[in-house]
Structure 1
Amino acid sequence: MTPAPLDPALSAWLEDAAPRLDADVGAAGELLPRLAAAGVFTLGVPEASGGAGGRLVDVVEAIAAVSAHSLAAGFVFWGHRTYVEYLLHSPNEALAGRLLPDLLRGRIAGATGLSNAMKFLAGLEGLQVTARREGDGFRLDGKLPWVTNLEPGNFHLAAAVAHGDRPGAFVVSLAAGDAGLDRSADLDLIGLRATNTAAVALAGVRIDPDHVIADDAHVWLPKVRPAFLAFQCGMSIGLARRAIAAAGEAAGAGRHILGEPLAALAATLRTQVRALAEGLESGAFESQPAALFRIRIALADIVAEAVGLELQATGGRAYLSEPGAAFARRWREAAFVPVITPSLVQLKTALAAQRESAA
């Protein structure tokens, strides 16, 4: 994949807004409209569905380009665009038809509440939302402790739900105004604060069949997992590229010894990006998720090494509040990469279980 150019106006705004997006909850309202105005949500969406066409790798590169300026912006981009991807893969064409026009234009926020579901699919935990049958619909109870892009009063959210009376699970779309749905106050994060990240509690939320995204979560989730994780990888790619570039710029000041490790790390990053693109293009990740897990883990390691090299290249200036502000933000951003669900620990646990099963 080739690094994608962003709309110059969006690039300039993100560069200026990055400190606010990291530190100020109140800046969240600016972000979604800015991203939508640049057309980034239409990438990889078929023209017949109102999009600009293209491939999933185009979305990854766009998320990387945004994340190079601000991981908070990349995080919101990931959540919103992943929810769009769910609708594109849903047999519920009426639901997609209702929501996609406003989602692609940023008039409503889309949130992927399927982090729990992805862990469930990997055998790491049970589903946290259950359903009981009521007429031709369901009543839902449970909680989602961490969901991003929950614009107050104006979001749609995907959730995986376990049947309360029989085995199996399905996937639904919930809305901010649903009776019994409670959005918490924003979580008190140490960074990425302008991302509308909160918890959701469900108490008897009524869902009709026209809000079901997929009837069988076990069949449907593997089809969307490659995009879910690959779009996450875009965040790591963008942050790593920016840290490597910043380290290279700083290394000229008597720190030429870092040139070789920076070049080696950049080459390693390109190798992983190429493997990600090839797996997405071939569709291999749907049947071979472990390969994607390993790429996600490798990219997180690259991010950690990149910000470490940036610190070494910058020296003591990185520890001064004003000249080191951008580095300090990237350091916090890098600390988030290993804990994005599924976390590195969870991915490594899944890979270890797979190895034990094979043995």
Structure 2
Amino acid sequence: MTSLAVLIQEQLKPFVRRIDAEAYYAEGFLKSIGKAGFLNSDTGVDFSTEVRVVEEVSKICMTTGFNLWCHLASLTYIRNSENRYLKEEILPQLENGQFLGGTGLSNPMKYYAGLETLHLKATRTDKGYIVNGQLPSVSNLGKDHWFGIIAEVSPDQRMMAVVPCNALGLTLKAKLEYLGVNGSATYSCAFDEVAIPEEWVVSHDVDSFIVKIRPAFVLYQIPLGLGVTEASIGSIRQVCNKQGGCNDFLPIQPDELEKELEQIRTELYKLADGRELLQQWKALLQLRLRTAYLASKAAHGSMLHQGGAGYLKYSAPSRRLRESYFLLNLTPTVKHLEKMLQIK
């Protein structure tokens, strides 16, 4: 099996500037992760390995780490489904790098937190469902990709499915006006009478199913922030002796960042190694929030320490600063998290 370090060095690192500046989508690299066997769940899901892969990728490029998170989220939906077709036919191809997956659950996660209404509506048919509506932003999409959706069938029922991007009636429009992460293959998705056969249905009762998938959904996001934080600390240490050591007087210092990073990392891998992930929802939310704030602090500190070099448009510190702001606004956003943690 090709090592992760080699894959990153050869297939990701040379393209980071293009990802940031030209919205290049690292599809080949993402598929290589699966082809190398890092996502195989034949003998059970290895959360620790998958979390480590996201962290290592995010140290080099959090945009691509985010794409990997999208893919892992799509795996989570199918891994927890009782649909044999999805588990036996689609899941192996998603895990081995033949296909890639997206999430499509930003709006539903906000719905379940009481922040939004569902954008998609589903009508039951004798063969499955017909779905209509629009999702403003779904990432990690492409011609042979699948992504998850949740649609309201009635006031008392919501269904979940995974949908291929080439489904009839589905229109994708690229979104490239973001401050960063434009290489994330993000699209708005319009559903016009899209037929969803039973083979694509993940769950007919999402209100209970969501409890099974949301812990992993959040778990896989935490290493995004760890990767950005560690890379930012590295940027700070690169310039510690410049200009007569005046960086020593700045309020954000690498040692304090490193201490908090190690605390969070230890807690994360303890949760990932455990067998009771479903019971750790509150702990995951707290860890996710702490990670987002730490990544933002570290990226800001890196900009201060780097000075003018960091202010260049496509410098690594400025890229991480933009990536850290994206993490603050990735569902669940920090305000979303703050609200959920206040609810008893």
2:130 aligns to what SS in structure 1?
strand
Shift of 1:288: 4.2
Q: 1:293 aligns with which of 282, 285, 296?
A: 285
Give the one of 274, 286, 292 matched to 1:282. 274
| Pick aligned residue for 1:250 from 225, 234, 239 | 239
Report the AA paired with residue 256 of structure 2.
A
SS at match of 2:182: coil
Aligned position for 1:231: 220
Matched, 1:122 2:122: no
Equivalent position SS for 1:47:
coil
Question: 1:24-43 counterparts in 2 under 5 A?
Answer: 24-25=22-23, 27-28=24-25, 31-39=26-34, 42-43=37-38
> Secondary structure at the residue paired with 2:220?
helix
Q: Which residue of 1 aligns with 2:258?
A: 266
Shift of residue 199 of structure 1? 0.8
Alignment match, 1:177: 166
TM-score, normalised to structure 2's length? 0.91
1:344–1:283 Cα change, 3 Å: farther
- Structure 2 residue 186 is matched with structure 1 residue 206: no
**1:236-270: CA deviation from partner (whole Å, max 9, x where unpaired):** 11011100111112113213456983112111111
Q: Distance in 2 between matches of 1:274 and 1:68?
A: 17
1:78–1:125 distance in 2 versus 1, CA, 3 Å? same
Of 42, 46, 63, the match for 1:47: 42
1:97-246 equivalences under 5 Å are 97-151=88-142, 153-164=143-154, 166-246=155-235
2:9 is matched with 11
Offset, 1:121: 2.4
Could you list the per-position Cα deviations for residues 280-324 of structure 1 after superposition, in whole angstroms to 9, with x for gaps in the alignment? 333555234222111111111111111122122212322245xx7
Gaps of 5+ in 2: none
| 1:345 counterpart (318, 323, 335) | 335
Q: Distance in 2 between matches of 1:40 and 1:304?
A: 33
Q: CA RMSD, aligned part only? A: 2.2
Contact 2:103–2:149 at 8 Å: present in 1 too?
A: yes
Alignment-mate amino acid for residue 204 of structure 1: E
**2:159 counterpart SS class:** strand
Post-superposition shift, 1:149? 0.8
* C-alpha distance 81-243 of structure 1, shift in aligned 2 (>3 A): same
C-alpha displacement of 1:182: 1.1
Structure 1 CA distance for aligned equivalents of residues 45 and 331 of structure 2:
27
Classify the secondary structure of the residue corresponding to 1:184. strand
Cα distance in 2 for residues equivalent to 1:201 and 1:37: 30
Return the alpha-carbon distance in structure 1 between the equivalents of residues 252 and 64 of structure 2. 31
Alpha carbons 1:251, 1:259 under 8 Å: kept: no
* CA distance in 2: counterparts of 1:32 and 1:68, whole angstroms: 18
- Kept in 2, the 8 Å contact 1:279–1:285? The answer is yes
Does the aligned pair in 1 maintain the 2:133–2:191 contact within 8 Å? yes
Q: Structure 2 vs 1, CA of residues 251 and 318 (structure 1 numbering), >3 Å: closer, same or farther? A: same
Query: What residue identity is the alignment partner of 2:178?
Result: L
Paired residue for 1:335, among 310, 325, 334? Answer: 325
